[in-house]
Amino acid sequence: MRFKILESDFDGNIICTRDLSVVKDLAEVEDHEPMIMGGDILRPEVRHRLNHQLPTIFIHRGYLGNHLYKHRVWWRYSVNGFANTRLLPVPYSRWHLLGLPRHSWKVTTVKRVLIAPSKMTSTIWTPETDAWAESMLDKFPGAKVRIRIKSGKPTQRWNTLWDDLDWADLVVSQSSAITAEAFWYGKKVISLFPCPTWAAGTSTLDTWQDPTEPDHRTAWHEHLAWSQFTNQEWSSGHAVKSIARYIGPADQYQSGYSYNFKNL
């Protein structure tokens, strides 16, 4: 399959040139033609392709593993949606490539709730970050609730992340990498919008007190490993080939979620 990519996405990035056609703007792309695109949903062209379910591989910062390196190594992708939410059979195991352990489930009762708003998704989906976080404070009667404001610098973010996850039994967010991190770490998560943890089973605000480990969490580790690739894998073309093996053709994949992003 040949993909089109915007010149602004291609310049200076690591994506392999094989099977790519570089274009200056979306006027050169027919709706049925698959694209590879940076996944920042603040960009109108990203929201357009999501809203109209146009075949696109979106690339963004990796979910797990970048805290092990000085520079970003892992880049996640999603196909025709904001996250890959369907658990599929994997061609082979990739989890060992992340160099991360598999944590056991650590939740026996839900007494401490961490609210983790995302500024980006608040802008698109919900009220502003502060308003959304404050609206969550009374959703968990009897529990201790803490709001975690995400730092703009990754190193500062990770300096406090693990302490916050150790404290929390439940992490609630809109759609953020912290839900993937918390779920891997063995904590219950609720993501109100598409998130890779949905592949293991979705939790809702109505079931926030249930401490049960989702049935598909073990298999989810491989789903996560197949939802992100290294710089080298992207630059060699291996990532795009692997996506086709796991997800299938981008123009046929159904994300399972309908988007209706507002204009900014």
Same domain, 74 and 157: no
Confidence of residue 29 (pLDDT cuts 50, 70, 90): very high
Domain count, the chain: 2
Alpha-carbon span 153 to 78, nearest angstrom: 23
Same domain, 17 and 58: yes
Average pLDDT score over the chain: 90
Cβ-proximal residues to 207 (8 Å cutoff; 6+ apart), any chain: none
Same domain, 148 and 178: yes
Model confidence pLDDT, tens digit, residues 246-264: 999 999 999 989 888 876 5
The answer on pLDDT for 217 being more than 90 is yes
Q: Are 261 and 81 in contact (CB under 8 A)?
A: no
pTM exceeds 0.85: yes
Residue 133 in any domain: the answer is yes
* DSSP state at residue 173: E
The answer on pLDDT for 124 being more than 60 is no
Confidence of residue 139 (pLDDT cuts 50, 70, 90): very high
Same domain, 235 and 148: no
The answer on pLDDT for 100 being more than 90 is yes
The answer on pLDDT for 157 being more than 90 is no
> Looking at residues 163-169, what average pLDDT do you find?
97
Same domain, 150 and 174: yes
Alpha-carbon span 80 to 136, nearest angstrom: 29
The answer on pLDDT for 121 being more than 60 is no
**CATH code (residue 194):** 3.40.50
Same domain, 122 and 213: yes
Alpha-carbon span 216 to 121, nearest angstrom: 26
Residue 144 in any domain: the answer is yes
Residue 107 in any domain: the answer is no
* Higher pLDDT pick, 126 / 161: 161
Same domain, 117 and 214: yes
Residue 198 in any domain: the answer is yes
Same domain, 150 and 179: yes
Same domain, 190 and 241: no
Q: Are 93 and 102 in contact (CB under 8 A)?
A: no
Same domain, 119 and 193: yes
User: Is the Cα torsion angle 61, 244, 92, 233 positive or negative in sign?
Assistant: negative
223-246 burial, b at 16+ Cβ within 10 Å, e below that, comes to bbbbbbbbeebbeeeebbebbeeb
Same domain, 116 and 214: yes
Same domain, 237 and 180: no
Phi and psi, residue 252, nearest 5°: -115, -15
Residue 150 in any domain: the answer is yes
Give residue 126's domain range. Answer: 112-218
